[in-house]
Chains A and B, each alone.
Chain A
């Protein structure tokens, strides 16, 4: 079965420090991988995606993610966190021509 794991419910980081939000996946075939961010009472906003090509993907708001096929991971990173980055982050995978499968989400809290 296709699945996405976000092992951390909550990540706390000080403003200005680097942040990492972890994601691993389990799918058959070559996956399309996505990161979305959700602010309170809002829909999801697209951050970045990996389809093919370079393993390091750069996205919106200074975020990036690295596709690691051997570790089946797609961790989200940012070199310097901002308080405004505090939100709920979802990793998602599309295994072929099927609906997105979401991780449970990780709440990021950036402390000033």
Chain B
């Protein structure tokens, strides 16, 4: 099956710094990728839709200046959490779609201290 790789799997950063998370589709091209956030024991919350070569589409309530998304190529989307604060600590998951099927990255556990 298709593979989506997400890096890093785990990151700890200081409050006020920025963190970049990468999502790569390894064996297919993805014009669209999705970024989700998952709180403990809760479902996935769609944050934004990343579109190759154009601006991301953010869901209501998600700050686009805080969660910067860049989809510069057909195999790579990045999510940068800017000026991170402890409340940004969460599990972030990306997905890329091929046809009607979505493939997910391994997730990134972000801890802001």
Contact = CB atoms under 8 A, between A and B. Distances in A.
B49 interface: yes
Nearest to B1: A46
A29 B54 CA distance: 29
Interface in B90-111: 91, 93, 95, 100-107, 109
A10 to B, nearest CB: 10
Interface of A is mostly: strand
A102 B44 contact: yes
B104 A43 contact: yes
A104 interface: yes
A25 B6 CA distance: 30
A105 B109 contact: no
B109 A46 contact: no
Given A41-B91, A104-B42, A105-B43, A99 B104 contact: no
Interface in A47-85: 49, 51
Contacts of B95: 44, 100
Nearest to B10: A41
B67 interface: no
A41 B90 CA distance: 11
Contacts of A41: 9-10, 91, 107, 109
Interface of A: 32, 34, 36, 41-46, 49, 51, 90, 94, 99-100, 102-105, 107
Given A43-B4, A44-B104, 9 more contacts: A34-B101, A41-B9, A42-B106, A43-B93, A43-B104, A43-B107, A46-B1, A100-B102, A103-B43
